[in-house]
Structure 1
Amino acid sequence: MGLALQGYSQSAEKGKAIYAKTCIACHQAAGQGIPGAFPPLAKSDYLNKDVNRAIKGVVKGLTGPITVNGKKYSGAMPAQALSDQQIADAMTYAYASWGNNKTKVTPAMVKAQRK
């Protein structure tokens, strides 16, 4: 296994535990979300289209209507009180899972969205 792939796998593995503690209640174990309330992360066009927008939503919270996979959601997600590394790992796990595009989120990417 190459070093880059190994780093990706380690980040995703750490992120799985963070996801289980922080994200699973709303977005569910398989990333399917809760219809009408919380959008899916599985095969998510919203997630896969713009990683920086997705990071910003986790860092700063997200309110108002969004459309995910053709369905509108009007709920609110609070900003997550996690470190840049924890957010990077949790998001890398989400991107590595459920048919998403395997983006590696780094702490530097998260830090940039805090500004």
Structure 2
Amino acid sequence: MIRILRLATVMLLITSCNSKEKKSTKVEYPEKTTFSNQSPELKASMAKGKLVYDSLCITCHMADGKGAPQVFPPLANSDYLENNQEESIIGIKNGMKGEMVVNGITYNSLMSPLGLSDEEVADVMNYINNSWGNKYGKYLTTEEVTNVIKK
């Protein structure tokens, strides 16, 4: 009886290892942000912005920038972010509350002020503007953020 079980186990291993169906070992990850075709200033700012994002923003907006459906809006492919750069800067600096429509979906969440400096706001904006397929805006400087906040 034991010989039959061993033989069955060996046959099972042989047939499963010799399967014609190829299994993929490729792991799918969120679209990565590449810094390769950016100016040196933008690359440096995006690298610092990624650190800010990973420590403060990733919990709600997720690693892939897609947010949490109906709760936290996406940053990846976000029409709101693309069309409301100044409001986004102010929101990152001072927090946001109330309704906003992003990609046709209404969100009504609270984002508390994060206590970021104008430089950190510029860095995280440069990161999210150029990540996950986003190509929103140009290199944003600390001075530009300061001017938007003062308005």
TM-score greater than 0.5 by the shorter chain: yes
Q: State the percentage of identical aligned residues.
A: 40
**Offset at 1:81?**
0.2
**How far does the alpha carbon of each residue in 1:30-83 deviate from its partner, in whole angstroms, 9 at most, with x for none?**
101001110000011111112111101111211111000111101111122011
Q: How big is the shift at 1:101?
A: 2.0
Q: What amino acid is aligned across from residue 109 of structure 1 in structure 2?
A: E
The residue type paired with residue 145 of structure 2 is V
Greater relative CO, 1 or 2 (CA 8 Å, sep 6+): 1
Partner of 2:145 in structure 1?
110
Which consecutive segments of 4 or more residues in structure 1 shift more than 4 A? none
Structure with higher Rg: it is: 2
Structure (1/2) with the larger strand percentage: 1
For structure 1, list consecutive stretches of 5 or more residues without a partner in the other structure: none
Q: Evaluate the alpha carbon distance shift between residue 19 and residue 94 of structure 1 in structure 2; reply closer, same or farther with a 3 A threshold.
A: same
What's the counterpart of residue 75 of structure 1?
109
* Long gaps (5+) in structure 2: 1-37
Instruction: Output the TM-score relative to the length of structure 1.
Output: 0.91
Q: For 2:67, what is the secondary structure of its paired residue?
A: coil
The residue correspondences of 1:84-103 to structure 2 (distance < 5 A) are 84-103=118-137
Query: 1:74-94, CA deviations, whole angstroms, 9 ceiling, x for partnerless residues?
Result: 111112201111111111000
TM-score by length of 2: 0.70
Paired residues of 1:19 and 1:90 also in contact (CA < 8 A): yes
